[in-house]
Amino acid sequence: MRLASLPARLRGPWAVDLWITLAVQAAVTMPFVVPRAPDLPEATWGAYGLTTLTVLPLVARRHAPVTVLLATLAAGALYTLAVDGPGQPLPYAGLVTFYTVAELSPPRARAAVAVLVGAAVFPSVAWNTGEARELLFSLFVFGAAYAFGRLSHTRKAYVAAVEDRARQAELGRRIEAERAAARERARIAREMHDILSHAVSLMIVQAEAGPVAVRAAPERAEAAFEAISETGRDAMVQLRRMLGVLREDGPGQVAAPRSPQPGPAELPALLARVHGGG
């Protein structure tokens, strides 16, 4: 069963440490349940209980790795000196805690613990078999545990850095999008102002000239009202064109013409319309 398929409460740090503790406990239990030769030490409950004491501190390995390692080494030394029970093929609890120290502890604590563990290997091997093969093997497995711990630390730091860069990039894209939206809103506001102010100003001029034209030259009043109507229709056309440009990115929308707003070249026509309205 994969760890990722478990519920969230069974995948947290405490849950993972509990699973590791149970796995190590199962490993140290094997020498006590496998049939033993008559000349080997008897597997007693006392020896099994003391072996369990070397495993239980693993539950707190993330919170106090150095303390857990010292407790594990002390319990292992007590088992070796006080109990003549089944041995273990590997110091499972010590390897796990040494890996945790290498992964989570600061440099000074790691260096001190590495020196301590290296110094403890020699008397442990001398007490057991005293063979060079066992000494080299013990140094190798503890060195491998330390190396894997540092590799895990480096990998986690790299992943954290990549995630932080991704968050910064996403934040930068979001800020740039907001700035682009603000610039677009300002541009649209300017365009709307130009269209409406031009049209409304012309309509006001024509509307104010209308009563004068009615009294002075009734035939010109009709031209003034036609100019007001034409100006309003022209403003509506330009507004629809701008709204069409804003909507053209949607599905099924037809691109609106992007002709420029009236410029200086249209001034003669504008003057003619104003003059025509009186």
Per residue of the chain (278 residues), give pLDDT as tens: 455 555 555 567 788 888 888 998 898 888 888 877 777 767 778 888 888 888 888 888 888 888 888 888 888 888 777 777 777 778 888 889 999 999 888 889 888 988 888 888 888 888 777 788 888 888 898 899 999 999 999 999 999 999 999 999 999 999 999 998 888 888 877 877 777 777 777 777 777 776 776 666 666 667 777 777 777 777 777 777 777 666 655 555 555 455 555 667 777 776 776 665 55
For the entire predicted model, the pTM comes to: 0.61
Contacts of 63-69 with C-beta under 8 Å, sequence gap 24+, read 65/97, 65/100, 65/101, 65/103, 65/104, 65/105, 66/101, 66/105, 66/109, 66/113, 68/97, 68/100, 69/94, 69/97, 69/98, 69/100, 69/101, 69/113, 69/117
